[in-house]
Amino acid sequence: MKSRLESLLEMLEQQPFDSFLLYGIALEYMAMNDDEKAEQYFKELIESDPGYVPAYMQYASLKINQNEIEDAKFLLRKGIKLAREKNDRHAVNEMEDLLDELE
């Protein structure tokens, strides 16, 4: 039986710029503690779909785990700005709370 990651990677071959798939793959790599691969997919996601708000919170969490706090703050600020533009109060609150913890 295929792993979730294998299934997501196969689907990505058919839909190479699918934001949800890129996000899911990045999260799978995070769960496997493969920070390098997770970061690769977060970067690809943000490049191809800079308005995909959930990516900023999770990418910031990855940066926090890597002790790259300034990068995490940058991502959170950018994510907050985008979430405000999209009127996504929940995402704004989550990212503001995390940013407050870092400052």
Q: What is the pLDDT of residue 79?
A: 97
Inter-helix orientation angle 19-31/53-65, to 10°: 20
Stretch 29-49: mean pLDDT, rounded?
96
Q: What is the pLDDT of residue 20?
A: 95
The CATH number of the domain where 72 resides is what?
A: 1.25.40.10
What are the structure tokens assigned to 44, written together? Answer: 């690809």
Give the count of domains, the chain: 1
Distance (Å, rounded) from C-alpha 2 to C-alpha 92? 36
Instruction: Find, among 67, 68, 61, the residue nearest to 38 by Cα.
Output: 61
Structural domain of 39: 4-102
pLDDT tens sequence across 48-93: 999 999 999 999 999 999 999 999 999 999 999 999 999 999 999 9
Instruction: Find, among 69, 79, 97, 44, the residue nearest to 36 by Cα.
Output: 44
Q: Which of 14-18, 19-23, 24-28, 49-53 has the lowest mean pLDDT?
A: 14-18
